[in-house]
Amino acid sequence: MKHLLLLHGAVGSKDQLQPLADLLKNDFSVHLFNFSGHGGKPFVQEPFLIEAFANEVGEYLSTHKIQQASVFGYSMGGYVALYLAKQHPQLLSEIVTLATKFQWDEMIAAKEVAMLNAEIILEKVPVFAEQLKQRHAPNDWKLVLDKTKAMLVQMGKENPLQLNDYTTIEQPAFLLLGDNDKMVTREETEAVQKALPNSRFQLLEQTAHPIEKVNNVVLADMIREFCKTNSR
């Protein structure tokens, strides 16, 4: 059975993708994966970096003796998947991304960092603060936010993937974006899709950025159809 790896977003965890995994488990050998510091997985000494997260995916595949896998990446997970595809193309086959932020500069990074202020989250959205606390326990969720903010600042200074980088990624790629996503623009997603040699783009109707707002049945059907149609 074909391997499918599901990658979560920034400050997220693999548990958020469990409903999607359940819908796909009869079609693929599904793997859920936490990046370091997320979902209770221990922190590493190194800072959060796209390159480091991509290396973790490669190590996971090696440890589980998976020569090649299809990947679905939500938000940051999609960015990590494409970065890994550029660095180690032999490891990945089809790539599906959803709500991935591709355009980064200092202004964009500053805007995203401001949304990760732990004290403001505690004051304004205490329910979300409690979710983060439980999601990353026993790790300190505030440290997860701080390390993520530092990564975004660095991405704002130097985007790990420039538009020209995508032209060398040959794997079939399917870029999905919710039509109500307030973080990711259609323009930046379509720009990357046009740069990718073998890719598609599609809007998901009545869909916002959070993974919890996505219709998992529709998403599972799209992943299933794309990975099986483009299987190499």
Segments making up each domain of the chain, as ranges: 3-104+160-229
Peptide bond into 138 cis (omega under 30): yes
For the sheet containing 3-7, what is the strand order? 29-33, 3-7, 69-74, 92-98, 173-178, 199-204
State the pLDDT at residue 231.
64
State the pLDDT at residue 45.
87
Instruction: Give, for all 232 residues of the chain, the pLDDT tens digit.
Output: 899 999 999 999 999 999 999 999 999 999 999 999 999 999 998 899 999 999 999 999 999 999 999 999 999 999 999 999 999 999 999 999 999 999 999 999 999 999 999 999 999 999 999 999 999 999 999 999 999 999 999 999 999 999 999 999 999 999 999 999 999 999 999 999 999 999 999 999 999 999 999 999 999 999 999 998 886 5
Burial environment of residue 227 by CB neighbours within 10 A (0 to 12, 13 to 18, 19 or more): buried
The answer as to CATH 3.40.50.1820 being correct for domain 3-104+160-229 is yes
